[in-house]
Chain A
Amino acid sequence: MDCPTCEAMVDAYVDGELTAIESAAFEQALELCPGCRRRLADARAVSDALRALPAEPAPDLLRARIERELRAIAGRPTQRIRWSAMAASLIVAIGIGWLGGSLLGHGTRETDELIAGYIRVAMSDHGVEVASSDRHTVKPWFAGRIDYAPPVHDLTAEGFPLLGGRVDLVDGRKVAVLVYRRNQHRLALTLWPSSSSGNAAPSLAQRDGFALADWRHGGFEMHAVADLAPSEMKSFAAAVDQAIDADR
């Protein structure tokens, strides 16, 4: 066997794609060719290295999003299903919320709780308790449900339309959660009055495809979570701050 043939067989040999006879011929030829032996060693090293990489399973939120689509399709009467409606439901996507877990300090356990909460609510069909893009509907809805008045703004012009709000418990206290949309993604902003003064710039973190942001602005502690890129989360925080400043 001449060397070009030998070389052409290196990868097929590593991959077990040669017949027994071809393999035997290759092994014989290999003894005569140091270049091919090195090539074989390299190919094996690359193969072993890649096979040793840990697999990254599909994130729970992705699973939840797909489950929700499947439930929606399975639940519809057959004749009524329209694929345009399906495409629309992709855009409507998931409802979200907040099941507690303080973001303060970004401890791993808190972040776990936070993301677990986000996913649990993403799987339900009740992302918001008050669905409206009108701040004059959403803001008064919180009165009587929580003991403070959160600043509410529709950020459609900045690319984050307001979808509505809900109340959740964080550390035993009822807090306001505002839900925004960014393309087909949902964004939850939980906010409560701050006990510290002054503003603090957003601290961004990324985890399992979620972007998390904590900051303080206009006397409120802000905690946002979404399945967005960190750069988009940054734009969101800036849009919130700007809207609050414009109110003054």
Chain B
Amino acid sequence: MSDAPKPDGVTVERFRVVVLPHLDAAYGFARWLTRDPVAAQDLAQEAMLRALRYFHAFRGDDARPWLLRIVRNTWSDFRTRNGTAGQTLDEIENRPADGPDPEQSAIAGDRQRQIAAALAALPAEAREVLVLREIEDLSYKRIAAVLDLPIGTVMSRLARAREKLAAELGGRLGRRGDGLPDL
């Protein structure tokens, strides 16, 4: 990055208008990736500063997937640095699964808490694709861009992730007849 143009006041002002409005999305994604409110803030801040550094190269019309991709890559770097990238599924499953602060956030009902906990308990590969699709409401094409995957892989991962979450929720909330209980 040494020969990248240095951000100046004009760049920062443009960044404020184009990228900063997506801070909530960046934090929300970081929250689900890290499953920790403090780590999510560090990740979102680092990603925002990286985004500013790469901003000269941004040529899209929609900064949100672009920013989410940076959040995701920054997170990968954090995990590599902390040596947690090779975490097994068991280790992930055994983590206390907390969604956004069950006590404090607006998540009111027990059912929603269960849903958040079930999502948090999924392995990262399933979690990220579900969050991008259902919470960030990105199209397959955009998800493919964020995760740097072919669209076909996004489709199959999403199908598997929904199946896993349905099974997880079925276990938590109890199955009633065919299909899931009314969620």
A residues with a Cβ closer than 8 A to B are: 8, 10-12, 15, 17, 38, 41-43, 45-59, 61-63, 65-66, 69-70, 73-75, 78-79, 81, 83, 86, 90, 184, 206-209, 227-229
Contact = CB atoms under 8 A, between A and B. Distances in A.
Contacts of A75: 9
B16 A227 contact: no
Interface string B149-181: 000000100110011011001000000001110
Contacts of B44: 58, 62
Contacts of B57: none
Nearest to B160: A11
Nearest to B39: A229
A111 to B, nearest CB: 10
A73 B42 CA distance: 19
Contacts of B26: 58
A181 to B, nearest CB: 15
Interface residues of B, number: 59
B74 to A, nearest CB: 13
5 contacts: A8-B159, A53-B115, A54-B105, A56-B31, A70-B16
B179 A41 contact: yes
A58 to B, nearest CB: 4
B155 A69 contact: no
Interface of B: 1, 6-9, 12-13, 15-16, 20, 23-24, 26-28, 31, 36-38, 40-42, 44-46, 48-49, 52-53, 99-101, 104-107, 112, 115-116, 119, 130, 133-135, 139-140, 155, 158-159, 162-163, 165-166, 169, 178-180, 182-183
Chief secondary structure at chain B's binding surface? helix
Contacts of A11: 155, 158-159, 162
Given A43-B162, A228-B38, A90 B49 contact: yes
Given A50-B119, A53-B116, A70-B16, A63 B23 contact: yes
Nearest to B7: A73
Nearest to B111: A49
A193 to B, nearest CB: 32
Contacts of A8: 155, 159
B38 A229 contact: yes
Given A11-B159, A15-B133, A59-B41, A54 B180 contact: no
Nearest to A49: B183
A30 to B, nearest CB: 14
Nearest to B12: A74
Question: Which among B13, B36, B38, B106 has the greatest number of chain A C-beta atoms within 10 A?
Answer: B38
Contact of B180 (A41, A74, A78, A86): A41
A46 B162 contact: yes
A190 to B, nearest CB: 21
